Chain A
């Protein structure tokens, strides 16, 4: 019995070693971060893997906060976030991290009110008051004023926010802080904030799930999550005073002003942008890469992928509710990509 057990142990070790070596022939790149662009990233990585079967990019949508943390700790090769890293966060990283915008997206207010199918109109201050816990019922006069003709019930509003660190949260509170000084003071702008009220869901997926299942709830998610799950979402009042619904056109319009004045590190906020036909809660989303990563093979594969994503990959945007990047921004990024060391 003893000799056969030792033989099986050796066999098992061989299989494991074989597995490890087979795994090493293809390039696996691990990334983690924002749930906001997860639909388009997973489409991209899938399509890219079909065209380049030896490159497997494993992206885990765990939230922008986690993405920033993991790239700082170098437990993943690249991060993804919809809130640009702060100067302190950049300083904490062991090397220089570059931001690369990938797509434009919108964060929409989603709600679930039984018997109300109309698209509601919201203004910035009203949304801020709801999330501050000052407006608590759907038939509050401030909401009814904006939505004449809609029969709003006297149900309590259940606020749904993110329980994890989120770039989607960042975009949302960035906007609310710009339109409501009290919100800026009480809550502030970050990927994870101290919410005055509400229930927490994990990821865009979690918030969408909670809103879908809880009558009377109001949350915020990236547009595609509302579209794919057929959850009602409302229009938001822009700086110009119009009530704008999120779409590819209105999000692209939000980026117009910023693209002409794009800073070199691509960190810019486009919420509450001026102009007509502009959706006020729009944002870039960024991939985070080290300028000088240790694994050059992975670096080369990642840079090649990004070049594809910024050009060919952009055609997948429309179907998934994202807006493609403006040409001028893509040109600047291709030039910036040269800074990433691939050898």
Chain B
């Protein structure tokens, strides 16, 4: 089942889960995703094999979308 998670102090928190058929669950997930972006998080889709993609909109067919904080030079 596709999931939207956020990396945080607890390790990670699941913000939303949806199925391809469940439009309401997906819309709720989109709302969570947008709220995360407004809160300064960045949406990332891990493509496997060393590839990831930054996403501005929640892809319906993604298995796992991760919200991360920005990075900075130390």
A and B associate in one complex: no
State the A residues within 8 Å of B (CB): none
State the B residues within 8 Å of A (CB): none
